[in-house]
Structure 1
Amino acid sequence: MPNFVRCYTGDDGKSHLEDLNPPFESFVDTEGAYGEGTPMLGANGVNIRIAQPGYLLEWHCAPRRQYTITLSGVAEVEVSDGTKRQVGAGDVLLAEDLTGAGHITRVISDEPRYYMVVALAD
């Protein structure tokens, strides 16, 4: 099962990581697809990115509320208290730390990290 992680700014102005439990519920879509899914969210855009092994993005805040979905490779996200989480293939990170100290992102795999960014609508 993939991991769902949220990176957010706390009342202390620092970024924190927490496990996220998406609100899955039963659905049937108009074409007949069915199962469990989350409510549909609005998005402003989607792109696919590649980050090479050794990629390092020092302290930064998320540029917008966005999901990053790792397709392959492994990244590590570090927040100011030293907590680190790895995200690999299938893992979903909800980045909501738009202010404060931010986080570090680094590719720690020997292969490129392919990932999709879904910019959420306001």
Structure 2
Amino acid sequence: TNVQFSSSMATVRITRIYSDDTGESHFDEVTTPLKDQGAIGFISEAIGAKNIFFRYTPGDYNFDFHNVPRRQFSINLDASVKITVSDGKSQIFPPGSLLFAEDTSGKGHLSQV
């Protein structure tokens, strides 16, 4: 699960894809704190968003190395996706995974359903 609880706080884990100064893309894990709001649960601070897009990709989706057109969150709704960053590391993200891609330049990443 992306949400972690301890006795004193809750956090949500987000995998980040970013490009370093040499153009290589990497994975990173970031956490965002969630505050206890009582009966409605735990909530993070607001994250500004300009637009929200929905996208469907077929089961044979295989997109060679590319950059994202903008910094963007991605939440897979019903399938896993395998992402390989240009440094050679791969991760499989199951449905419900939170991904923040900001490799808008450099070598990019590969996406496979």
5 Å-filtered alignment, 1:13-92, equals 13-27=23-37, 34-92=40-98
In structure 2, the partner of 1:110 is: none
Q: Considering fraction of residues, name the structure with more strand.
A: 1
- Aligned residue among 21, 28, 39 for 1:11: 21
Q: Which residue of 2 aligns with 1:117?
A: none
Residue 52 of structure 1: how far off its partner (Å):
1.1
State percent identity of aligned pairs: 32
> 1:34 Cα deviation (Å)?
3.3
Matched, 1:97 2:103: yes
Q: Which runs of 5+ in 1 are unaligned?
A: 108-122
| C-alpha separation in 1, matches of 2:53 and 2:68 | 15
* Alignment-mate amino acid for residue 36 of structure 1: F
**TM-score (normalised: structure 1):** 0.75
Q: Which has the higher contact order (CA 8 A, sep 6+)?
A: 1
> Structure 1 residue 27: deviation in Å?
4.0
Look up the SS of the partner of 1:20 in the other structure.
strand
Deviations 1:97-122 (A, max 9, x none): 11111101111xxxxxxxxxxxxxxx
Q: Give the length in aligned residue pairs.
A: 103
Root-mean-square deviation (Å): 1.7
